[in-house]
Chain A
Amino acid sequence: MSRKSEILRYLGYKKAVPRKDIDGAIDRIEKEIESVAEPRTVKMKISIENMPFCGKTVEKAMHGCKKAIIFAATLGAGVDRLIMQKECSNISEAVIAQAIAAALIEEVCDKLQGEYESYPRVSPGYGDFPLAAQRDILKILSADTKIGLSTTEALMLVPTKSVTAIFAIKE
């Protein structure tokens, strides 16, 4: 799916065509986001026997493979700051920026995953993969010092446009 249609999906457009000025605003804000985004990732290959997580969701996602990748990705603090700026000065742009950033971080993850022959990724919070695993993934990867990614007490990733996930690889 194209990035634009992803963004429109996040904005709730389903199949509707956006008004021309909004379409233009999306393009303009996309450039702004790109200029402040600093995508960073950190990953680790592990053997299944060393998989620190268990449960049905994780087990199913492993598809009987022998190896898996644990990774974390973030667009960095600049995107959060830009969205905060728009939230106080221009809420409609903030909503659009939010959707663009969401599409962008997914692309970053897809690209990382594209380097492998892999099965779909799962993130903490899906199924019975507990949200608390977020913190373990960051710890395993030293994501705080490597890519500046950490969590809040309530287990939210900060910077907010970030993902942690695992996926199985066929090797």
Chain B
Amino acid sequence: MKDWGKKIKFFDGGTGSLLFEAGLKPGIPPETWNIEHPEVLCDIHARYFNAGADYVMANTFGANRIKLKDCKYSLEEIITAAIKNAKSAGAGKVALDIGPTGKLLKPLGDLDFEDAVSVFAEVVEIGARAGADVVHIETMSDTYELKAAVLAAKENCDLPVFATVVFDENGKLLTGGDIPTVVALLEGLGVDAIGMNCGLGPIQMKELAREMVKISNLPVIVNPNAGLPRQVGDKTVYDIDADTFAETMAEITSLGVWAVGGCCGTTPEHIEKTVSLCRDIIPCPIEKKERCVVTSYSKAVLIDDSPVIVGERINPTGKKRFKEALKTSDIDYILREGVAQVKAGAHILDVNVGLPEIDEKEMLIKVSEGLQAVCDLPLQLDTSDPIALEAALRRYNGKALINSVNGKEEVMAQVFPIVKKYGGVVVGLTLDEKGIPATAEGRYEIAERIVKCAEKYGISKENIIIDVLCMTISTDACGAKTTLRALSLVKERLGVKTILGVSNISFGLPRREVVNAGFFALALQKGLDAGIINPNNEAMMNSYFAYRALYAKDANCADYIARYANETEEKPKVTGSLTLSQAIESGLKEDSYKLASELLQEFTPLEVINEHLVPALDRVGVGFEKGEVFLPQLLMSAEAASAGFDAVKEQILKSGETPEIKGEILLATVKGDIHDIGKNIVKVLLENYGYRVYDLGKDVSPEAILQAVGEKGITLVGLSALMTTTVPAMAETIKLLREKCPNTKIMVGGAVLSGEYAETIGADFYGKDAMSGVHAAEKHFGK
């Protein structure tokens, strides 16, 4: 790649349409022609080299074990032949071309991330061995699959890695990612050049290319289609000709793009004309951009002029209910904390699931993946365990915020290589082997050391964000002053971004939010870039919105006005004469919580459950079974009852006891099936009736179900399947459980099942609707 940036580099154009012209029939994998018609491929490659291409793509776009599952040739044969054909066609460089697998990754589809990595790894190994000069990953429309392909390339060869994606006209990937997200992800993973291909013609790509060049520190590649396609008769024609294509490519090159070529519909003519117009353009040098960016799969958060809020609620410290959720693997409870913070206005979510009695690595992966399925904010992976960190960061879809590294040599040596490999912005805590320095200067020195050490690992300072830590003012009178001074020093002298867990400042004091909100405002005024706070806390958010309005970081006070203008002075609705039963029957969550809390002043938790909550639920359940109450109503009542149960549970946990449970039930959607709304409905209702539900989620193998049944000593299992194609997996699971755990009863449900069918596959109970899971449980455990 040494002459990149000195001269414009050229890629080849389309191959598919030329193969069809040469007689390839639809439905036949084009890759088979590498072996059956090598002369055709050699000819196509040679024409591109002659047209002036520096790189041609070997005919390996769909060469992976998923797409070529039923092919008569091995992957090894196909890829080796492809590289050989391209190499024999000219003296230029040959790219191992890697396209998508055609499958959607979890949680949307059923392909596991590591399986995707291994699919690509196989291709890279063979391609590198066969003599490819570079790896070119292209036509990716999902950031997660893109990450899998890049990791596979980086881990299995030393060749340069290029990666290009497909944007629509709005600059979005099919799975939602935008240009800043893709750039941050690929820069973090350390590819050599990035860009876009397919989907659009050069005219539509021009603005997208401009945006990418503006924020990228890497060379940009643009390989558009021949134009926008149109069907005329049986032929596809494009809206522009090769001359217009070439002229537009020259304009794109002038924007600072370093390499151009073509995709669908482009021919050697397109490339030849492009080369002749672009050859003498001097590539614009790439300016260094210092952007501190973290992303999810679709959203990039730029930490810059306006401070951001990192939601702190996913953390067990001091939270009994949260610890309980971690111990019982109640992931949904944790995800709800996440969703609530999104709604409250957080920009990033902190994820800390460290608890001595749980496997932190497994839990951090589960929770961060769960959060990425249900919300689109970037996450801050918060752990002191480097093994858990690496495992979660590897599977993270995007460029994460990492919490944390500190001034200890050992910790830096553990964490920085992980950050370098996977990308990320890392929080540096100003403490070291000697603890937290008492002075601002001491903390500044550690910050400086962290930044310097990171640089040695190849991590530039825009990817470091310093936490100067705060000590409670209840024990150190100058705690706040020291922190604020250290913050200023770090900002001014080091020029790096800063972050702070704000609420420590008030530890040991009453009405902590008064001090927290005041301190938060002060820290923001000193230039704090990210506050780790509770976004549900009104006082903290007030400080935040007021600061942004006061410091001209909220144009026209728009955000401030949007948040506060329509706020009425009205007090929250008074519950009045409503009873708990009525609140449940009407599906009123807040009222149910409040009324249950009130009843708990007078009655025992058990009385509240047995005399108020359960009878109300029963009434709604009976109405549902009679066809008088409909599913949405039933579920709203169930949710209202849940809120009531939450009040009860809190009361019990407060008194140091553990809530009584009627029985433990394991639920899972069977292997291959990824619809689990039915199972989730059953779960909500079972929990309402006092059962503890272990939810293994969807697409769960018979073995995993067996293992969980064994470990937890489960006597009632609920299985769900929605498709005829997944009922066999249900039957298989039942057979395995029968064999190994003959005393465990099994209930089944799902759209394709019937009572008779359920009996045929050997189930004990058939759940025809939402309530029948509860009846089966009552029958099993006794009412």
Contacts and interface: CB of A to CB of B under 8 A. Distances in A.
Contact of B632 (A22, A80, A83, A159): A22
A76 B174 CA distance: 8
A85 B635 contact: no
A84 B100 contact: no
Interface in A69-107: 76-78, 80-81, 83-85, 87-92, 94-96, 98
A161 to B, nearest CB: 11
A144 B104 CA distance: 9
Contacts of A89: 332, 335-336, 339-340, 374
Interface stretch (A57-65, A108-116, A145-153, A163-171): A145-153
Contacts of B729: 154
Interface string B41-60: 00000000000000000000
B675 A160 contact: yes
Given A154-B725, A160-B674, A11 B630 contact: yes
A92 B587 contact: yes
Contacts of B680: 87-88, 91, 94
A77 B587 contact: no
Contacts of B80: none
B139 interface: yes
B724 interface: yes
Nearest to B336: A89
Nearest to B642: A91
Nearest to A148: B174
Given A88-B336, A131-B725, A144-B102, A154 B376 contact: no
B374 A88 contact: yes
B677 interface: yes
A78 B176 contact: yes
Interface stretch (B105-113, B252-260, B542-550, B603-611): B105-113
Contacts of A127: none
Contacts of B636: 21-22, 92
A54 interface: no
Given A81-B376, A150-B104, A158 B674 contact: yes
B103 A95 contact: no
Nearest to A85: B374
Contacts of A148: 104, 141-142, 174-175
B102 A95 contact: no
A18 B681 CA distance: 20
A131 B724 contact: yes
Interface string B175-190: 1100000000000000
A163 to B, nearest CB: 15
Interface residues of B, number: 55
A78 to B, nearest CB: 6
Contacts of A147: 174
Contact of B630 (A18, A77, A131, A139): A18
A155 B723 contact: yes
A12 interface: yes
Nearest to B175: A77
A16 interface: yes
A156 B675 contact: yes
Contacts of A78: 176
Interface string B81-109: 00000000000000000011011100111
Contacts of B102: 144, 150
B175 A145 contact: no
A114 to B, nearest CB: 18
Tier of interface size on chain A: 35 or more
Contacts, number: 136
Residue in B166, B176, B231, B332 with the greatest tally of chain A CB atoms within 10 Å: B176
- Of B104, B632, B673, B680, most A-chain CB atoms within 10 Å: B632
B203 interface: no
A63 B729 CA distance: 38
A25 interface: yes
B349 to A, nearest CB: 13
A121 B639 CA distance: 39
A22 B26 CA distance: 50
Interface string A9-26: 001110010110110010
Given A150-B102, A152-B674, A156-B723, A85 B375 contact: yes
Contacts of A85: 339, 373-375
Contacts of B110: 152-154, 158
B176 A25 contact: no
Given A81-B376, A91-B639, A158 B632 contact: no
Contact of A150 (B103, B166, B331): B103
A154 B673 CA distance: 7
Contacts of B176: 77-78
B374 A84 contact: yes
B439 to A, nearest CB: 45
A91 B679 CA distance: 11
Interface string B118-160: 0000000000000000000001011000000000000000000
A155 to B, nearest CB: 5
Q: Which of B231, B340, B630 has the most CB of A within 10 A?
A: B630
A96 B166 CA distance: 33
A139 B26 CA distance: 10
Interface string B573-588: 0000000000000110
> Which interface residue of A83, A147, A154 has the most chain B CB atoms within 10 A?
A154
Chain B CB count within 10 A is highest, among A19, A40, A98, A145, for A145
B100 A95 contact: no
A155 B332 CA distance: 27
Contacts of B340: 89
A84 B373 CA distance: 7
A11 B339 contact: no
Nearest to B107: A84
A91 B673 contact: no
B198 interface: yes
B726 interface: yes
B23 interface: no
A80 B175 CA distance: 11
Given A91-B681, A91-B684, A154 B633 contact: no
A16 B635 contact: no
Contacts of A21: 586-587, 636
6 contacts: A18-B630, A89-B335, A90-B639, A95-B632, A154-B110, A154-B673
Which 8 A-B residue pairs are closest in the complex by CB-CB distance? A148-B174, A154-B672, A92-B635, A85-B374, A152-B110, A158-B109, A154-B725, A89-B339
Given A145-B166, A158-B109, 4 more contacts: A12-B630, A95-B681, A152-B674, A153-B672
